[in-house]
């Protein structure tokens, strides 16, 4: 029974998604959490959702009383092993919609663990600025490992540096268009962006009077690192600050090639 639970995650990671998923599966193997089994679970993704649940429940009618108490929601990443076990149970009873939901929750949990690991590998201080631990953020959209985003912010005096890393297709597409367009390489007229190279990767650097310098570095097959610096004096200054981030290590953690 225990072994069967891993076929669903194996199917989801190894068949449904791109090459990045295999490296993530390997991470699970290294933890001793996978036991290969030869049975398919195509049915999990072939059934209509008949669970009767809704993603947008109607809000309760307001009584007119204003809320003055409450400490917000407790946010915890999904338990990967627990959700795999729940998927196994649901699959065994042919409750495919519940099995699919549990698998997606397991995916989110895996991505959150990877994101937290990457954040821990980042420096705690950059260019004299200290990280703001309350600003650390990991977000997973669970879209086949193309919705994982990590953010860290560094502050000090009047300067601020923020690094964003992830698989953001919209941002990546915009930057790739800049890189592929010959007009962005050089221009005789004043412009607020240009192509550059960062640690061997073709990149784009932009400047805006209100938001400062932004360096965007696509890497691997679908990932990008964005470094934004506010109140940095020059392009060389922001490029020097960005050197503190080990993009090859980040690339390896994400399973990129």
Q: How far apart are CA 6 and CA 96, in angstroms?
A: 16
Statement to judge: residues 223 and 101 lie in one domain: no
Q: How far apart are CA 45 and CA 72, in angstroms?
A: 35
Does residue 218 form part of some domain? Answer: yes
Statement to judge: residues 37 and 142 lie in one domain: no
Residue 25's pLDDT is what?
42
Angle between helix 96-121 and helix 5-14 axes, rounded to 10 deg: 70
Residue 114's pLDDT is what?
86
| Domain CATH code at residue 187 | 3.40.1000
Statement to judge: residues 21 and 132 lie in one domain: no
Residue 170's pLDDT is what?
63
Can you tell me which residue has the tokens 């729940």?
A: 86
Q: How far apart are CA 47 and CA 44, in angstroms?
A: 6
Does residue 198 form part of some domain? Answer: yes
Residue 180's pLDDT is what?
72
Does residue 57 form part of some domain? Answer: no
Nearest C-alpha neighbor of 47 from the set 90, 89, 84, 17: 90
Q: CB neighbours of 226 closer than 8 A, spacing ≥ 6? A: 163, 164, 165, 171, 214, 215, 216, 217
Statement to judge: residues 135 and 245 lie in one domain: yes
Does residue 216 form part of some domain? Answer: yes
Residues of the chain under the 50 pLDDT cut? 1-56, 145, 183
Q: Which of 114, 142, 161 delimits the end of a domain? A: 114
Does residue 67 form part of some domain? Answer: no
Structural domain tally of the chain? 2
Cβ neighbours of 49 (radius 10 Å): 11
Residue 43's pLDDT is what?
42
Statement to judge: residues 214 and 248 lie in one domain: yes
Q: How far apart are CA 202 and CA 204, in angstroms?
A: 7
Residue 109's pLDDT is what?
84
Domain of residue 16: give its range: 5-52+77-114
């Amino acid at each position: 029974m225990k072994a069967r639970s891993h076929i669903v995650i194996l199917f989801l990671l190894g068949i449904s998604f791109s090459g990045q998923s295999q490296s993530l599966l390997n991470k699970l193997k290294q933890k001793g959490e996978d036991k290969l089994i030869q049975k398919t679970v195509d049915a999990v993704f072939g059934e209509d959702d008949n669970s009767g649940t809704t993603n947008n429940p109607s809000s309760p009618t307001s009584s007119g009383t204003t809320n003055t108490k409450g400490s917000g929601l407790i946010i915890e990443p999904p338990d990967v092993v627990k959700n795999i076990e729940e998927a196994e149970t649901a699959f065994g009873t042919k409750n495919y919609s519940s099995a699919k939901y549990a698998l997606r929750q397991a995916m989110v949990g895996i991505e959150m663990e990877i994101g937290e690991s990457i954040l821990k590998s980042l420096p705690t201080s950059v260019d004299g600025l200290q990280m703001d631990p309350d600003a650390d953020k990991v977000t997973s959209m669970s879209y086949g490992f193309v919705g994982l985003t990590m953010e860290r912010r560094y502050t000090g005096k009047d300067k601020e540096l923020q690094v964003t890393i992830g698989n953001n297709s919209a941002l990546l597409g915009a930057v790739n268009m800049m890189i592929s367009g010959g007009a962005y390489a050089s221009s005789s007229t004043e412009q607020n962006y240009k192509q550059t190279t960062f640690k061997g990767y073709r990149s784009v650097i932009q400047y805006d009077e209100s938001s400062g310098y932004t360096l965007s570095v696509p890497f691997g097959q679908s990932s990008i690192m964005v470094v934004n610096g506010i109140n940095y004096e020059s392009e060389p200054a922001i490029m020097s600050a960005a050197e503190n981030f080990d993009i090859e290590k980040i690339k390896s953690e994400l399973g990129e090639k």
